Structure 1
Amino acid sequence: MGSTSLWAQQFSLKEAVDYAVSHHTQIKNAQIDVLNADAKINEIKAIGLPQVNGNFSLTNNVLMQRMFIPAKIFNPSAADGELIAAKFGVENSGFSSVGLNQLIFDGSYLLGLKASAVYKELSQKSLTQSKQQVAENVTKAYYGILVNDKRMGLLDANISRLDSMLKDTRALNKAGFAEKIDVQRLEVQSNNLKTEHENLLRLQELGYSLLKFQMSLPLEEKISLKDNLESVNLQILSNDSAPFDYANRIEYSMLKTQENLAELDVKNIKAGYLPRVVFSGNYGMNTGANAFGDLFRKQWFDNAALSLAIQIPIFDGFSKKYKSIQSENNLRKVRQSFDLLKSSIDLQRNQSSISLKNALESLREQKSNLELADEISRVSRVKYKQGVGSSLEVLNAEASIKESQVNYFTALYNALIAKVELEKANGTLYNE
């Protein structure tokens, strides 16, 4: 396992994923979208609740408007056609009122409530999709560290074995039983392995940084891993002949929700042809005076009104007709997307299953090659110690081991990634 410290936090793969799901910014933003969807539902509900508004105003008619009336009304002897520009009203007036409006029926409002609930469902599924993406990234980063840990362990064994041989060869050289060039060859190989070890340490440090980034853990935090490669099950994860439920894939589930939204949009436009019924009530008081100060000493006269309005759409220039055509076309596009998504999922499942099978087969072969290289190296070292083999033969065997190890760990990492891809394709990578 990776380097540890007394104050390092330890994480199993599940704990690392759970931590990321709780702290990742992408998921926090998706959770905010769910909260916004809740607020949107309440916003639409509020439209159907009584709407109460108050109004209070004071008006000073600085220049009062004149009304033109025939002069004969007030003076019978006035000439025909003579007009009087009379002032009607008072210089100051006050008005206050409270009005209530209550929606009785609106087809679009009822469908809007349903659509807002479906929109919330879509935001929740988007949150689940974000969690799955984060879980995938964390899992791949976690496996990368485990593979490098294993690789580093074998590299340490290579260095230890070669250093032991170098020590023995130096002793043989001093005693005259080995040439100087044998020592130099081993020294070069030893230095190369130690350089590779330093490079691998830096690569592992980068791997930990990547894991912490995917977990949304501060990069300065020290962590270590609880799990090891032996605990990872790399067997085939699914039976290709078993029935598959497409709803296991969040993409399919989200498309179903989008279909529901598109259906509601079609219904909403058609609901625009239905009458809209609104009840309203109003109560107010007003007064007037020539002097502004008298407004609050004069009597205020009240008034009230109740009304029931029925708004019947008759002709809108075919606006709703063409909106309906667009919404039905959008619904058809969503429904046609199901076949494409199913084919895409089938292809992903098939590809990931084959990739895992191939990766496991390659892993078995590379493991066999590594064991064979180890045996060749062991025999060459024995022959060298017995004086019937050369140091060049030993170095060639060590080079074969190194190559076999690189191939083995590449195959191992590919198998782990193929496992993740198959779980993702089957919709089982992350379940809440």
Structure 2
Amino acid sequence: MKKIILLSFLMLVSAEAYGRQYTVHEGETLFRIAENELGKSSRWKEIADLNRISEPYVIKTGQLLILPDNDSKRSNVSGVVNLETDSSYAREITSIYSNVNVPQDKVKTNTVASIDSVPYVPQDEMQTTAVSISELLKPSYDGYAPQELSELNLEKAVQIALNNAPEVRAALANIESVKGYVGQAWSTALPQINATADIKRNETYRSYSIFSTDASTVRSAGVTVTQPIWSFGRISHSLEAARQEEAAALTQLADAKLNLRFRVESSFLKYLLAKEKLEVAKEAYLVAERLLKRAKVREAVGAGTRFDVTRSEAEDASASARLVAARAELDVSREELTSAMGFSSSTWIEPQGNILIDFSNLLPVSAQSTEKIAEEERPDLITLRHKIKSSEELISYERSKSYPSIDAIGNFNYSYSDFSFENSGSSNFYTGHENVTGFAGVTVSIPIFDGFRARETVRSRRAATDALKAQYDRSKLDAIKEVRRIYMALSAALSAIAARKEGVRSAGEALQMAEVSFEAGRATSLDVIQASLALTDARISEAEVEYQFRLGLAQLVKASGTDFVLKGGKTE
């Protein structure tokens, strides 16, 4: 049986041994920092490697970097390697601090290894640093962390996500785009003003005349104003359709925020669950350690057997493995929450809270009330209603194109012409003239035949409207089904919470009795191990069922479109 390799490397290093700290300023890049701070722009890759920055090598304002020294000295530094293993193969451990080769023979405790690649460290600034195999595989948390990420609770995490997440910014951009459609619809109701200006010069050569060349220049300018008077609802239908699209875009923003809130809340609850599992794993590991010590003591005094010790060692190793797995699960859930909030996964956060809380003030209203609330408040249903109205207005708009339109029009035009003769004997009796014209009136445009374009467009619009109505009916049925499913899950979880709490209490008492009996010699180590595993399973089951209940409440808010369901329902 192979034992777990434990490597503790005692080495004297400090931050000044390999570099210095530097805060990134606005607009700086790795290339510019290397050029300004190190004197060589080619050393930017060295900065990136030292701070574990990978492609596309992006840094943020305020980020803390470690810059290498220009004159780093190297010397031989001895370190103490504590290693316990039954393996016969060599293992090499490499980091920016050391390059340690473990020989194939079994290494004894306090073996001294010489290390050549450690930077020079002044004696008065030396401190201890621990290096382990698993740490070399972990990704770094060197992302820029804003100050507001400290003391992070659920509501604070949701608010930060709403201000930072890309999906909210995309929804806001969509609103601005739709507002442009409203402006375009308004523009058709406003006067249209066009101005024109022109200059023409004509030259005429006359071979039979006493004048060799005639030249004329015509300058003209004009303004035309057109004002729609009546279009049989064409403008109003277009404007109303654009307004309904704008309202749909606003509800899409609300839907994006609702989905983002659920994503952040579910990730936050998942982190709290992983945190509780880690606490359970820590306590189970302490129980295993305590059991192993007692088994060794009992064996030493002749009251126990070697079999109890071996079995306790196996349980201790299993508890250690479960502890490592729980820590890994916590790290994964932390990064999932960080990403949901709109930050890089390398940003370190430390959420606060507990998965085990009092649910007496979190019970929702009845399922029937929630179904009615969901039909009124769900953003996706509201969006579909606005889109149906917009499509109906577009049908009326296309119909109006088949009706006459009446516009008022006015025009003012001024032109000036002059004539010149290049021959010295030219006449000066007629050198040019000017002309001013203008008119105002009403124009009537009557469509006669458009090749059935309007009829086919109306038919297409009707089909699109029918499809939206069918989609709305299906979405409403799915919403009711989702609400009822969540209530069933909440009912089951709420019923299980009391049973899980009782199971934790009973398992805790059983473990205490098993430990006392083992100490007195009336029970074996297997009894203690089984009681400890039962308590671990009971505590994890309790945390999971409470997580399911709180997650169900978050799902209910998302399914109903509002948190009114947790506050006594919508006020009529």
2:440 counterpart SS class: strand
AA matched with 2:275: D
* 1:386 CA drift (Å): 0.4
Counterpart of 2:546 in structure 1 is 412
Counterpart of 2:489 in structure 1 is 355
Residues 425, 356 of structure 1: CA spacing in aligned structure 2 closer, same or farther, 3 A cutoff?
Answer: same
Establish whether residue 95 from structure 1 lines up as the match of residue 224 from structure 2: no
Counterpart of 1:271 in structure 2 is 400
Could you tell me the percent identity over the aligned residues?
Answer: 16
Contact 1:135 1:429 in 2 (8 A): no
Establish whether residue 39 from structure 1 lines up as the match of residue 180 from structure 2: yes
Q: How does 1:4-403 map to 2 (within 5 A)?
A: 9-60=150-201, 92-106=217-231, 107-231=233-357, 233=359, 236-242=363-369, 244-245=372-373, 246-288=375-417, 299-403=433-537
* 1:90 CA drift (Å): 6.4
Give the Cα–Cα distance (whole angstroms) in 2 for the partners of residues 59 and 430 of structure 1.
73
Contact 1:137 1:214 in 2 (8 A): yes
Deviations 1:38-65 (A, max 9, x none): 232223212222222222222345899x
Give the Cα–Cα distance (whole angstroms) in 1 for the partners of residues 536 and 463 of structure 2.
61
Give the Cα–Cα distance (whole angstroms) in 1 for the partners of residues 485 and 452 of structure 2.
50
Deviations 1:120-162 (A, max 9, x none): 1111011001001100100100100111122222222222222
Give the Cα–Cα distance (whole angstroms) in 2 for the partners of residues 356 and 268 of structure 1.
48
AA matched with 2:458: S
* Greater helix share, structure number: 1
Residues 291, 149 of structure 1: CA spacing in aligned structure 2 closer, same or farther, 3 A cutoff?
Answer: farther
Residues 176, 329 of structure 1: CA spacing in aligned structure 2 closer, same or farther, 3 A cutoff?
Answer: same
Deviations 1:359-380 (A, max 9, x none): 2334443443333332222221
Give the Cα–Cα distance (whole angstroms) in 1 for the partners of residues 525 and 470 of structure 2.
69
Unaligned runs of 5+ in 1: 65-88
* 1:187 CA drift (Å): 2.2
Give the Cα–Cα distance (whole angstroms) in 1 for the partners of residues 407 and 508 of structure 2.
87
* 1:280 CA drift (Å): 2.0
AA matched with 1:45: W
Contact 2:418 2:433 in 1 (8 A): no
Give the Cα–Cα distance (whole angstroms) in 1 for the partners of residues 353 and 500 of structure 2.
23
2:521 counterpart SS class: coil
Of structures 1 and 2, the one scoring higher in RCO (CA 8 A, sep 6+) is 1
Of residues 280-289 and 386-395 in structure 1, the stretch that sits farther from structure 2 once superposed is: 280-289
* 1:95 CA drift (Å): 2.7
Counterpart of 2:81 in structure 1 is none
Of residues 413-422 and 89-98 in structure 1, the stretch that sits farther from structure 2 once superposed is: 89-98
Unaligned runs of 5+ in 2: 1-144, 206-213, 423-430, 566-572
Give the Cα–Cα distance (whole angstroms) in 1 for the partners of residues 292 and 330 of structure 2.
28
Contact 2:497 2:546 in 1 (8 A): yes
* 1:292 CA drift (Å): 11
Give the Cα–Cα distance (whole angstroms) in 2 for the partners of residues 185 and 311 of structure 1.
97
AA matched with 1:260: K
AA matched with 1:411: V
AA matched with 1:239: S
Of residues 137-146 and 194-203 in structure 1, the stretch that sits farther from structure 2 once superposed is: 194-203
1:224 counterpart SS class: coil
Contact 1:236 1:357 in 2 (8 A): no
Give the Cα–Cα distance (whole angstroms) in 2 for the partners of residues 401 and 292 of structure 1.
115
Of residues 360-369 and 242-251 in structure 1, the stretch that sits farther from structure 2 once superposed is: 360-369
* 1:116 CA drift (Å): 1.5
1:388 counterpart SS class: coil
Give the Cα–Cα distance (whole angstroms) in 2 for the partners of residues 110 and 90 of structure 1.
53
* 1:290 CA drift (Å): 6.0
Of residues 404-413 and 415-424 in structure 1, the stretch that sits farther from structure 2 once superposed is: 404-413
Give the Cα–Cα distance (whole angstroms) in 1 for the partners of residues 353 and 504 of structure 2.
24
TM-score by length of 1: 0.83
AA matched with 2:159: D
* 1:211 CA drift (Å): 0.8
TM-score by length of 2: 0.64
Contact 1:349 1:422 in 2 (8 A): yes
Residues 134, 62 of structure 1: CA spacing in aligned structure 2 closer, same or farther, 3 A cutoff?
Answer: farther
Residues 230, 410 of structure 1: CA spacing in aligned structure 2 closer, same or farther, 3 A cutoff?
Answer: closer
Contact 2:409 2:441 in 1 (8 A): yes
AA matched with 1:342: K
Residues 232, 268 of structure 1: CA spacing in aligned structure 2 closer, same or farther, 3 A cutoff?
Answer: farther
Give the Cα–Cα distance (whole angstroms) in 2 for the partners of residues 31 and 157 of structure 1.
48
AA matched with 1:280: I
Q: Tell me the number of residue pairs that the alignment of Structure 1 and Structure 2 aligns.
A: 399
* 1:22 CA drift (Å): 1.5
Give the Cα–Cα distance (whole angstroms) in 1 for the partners of residues 529 and 356 of structure 2.
31
Contact 1:363 1:411 in 2 (8 A): yes
* 1:283 CA drift (Å): 1.9
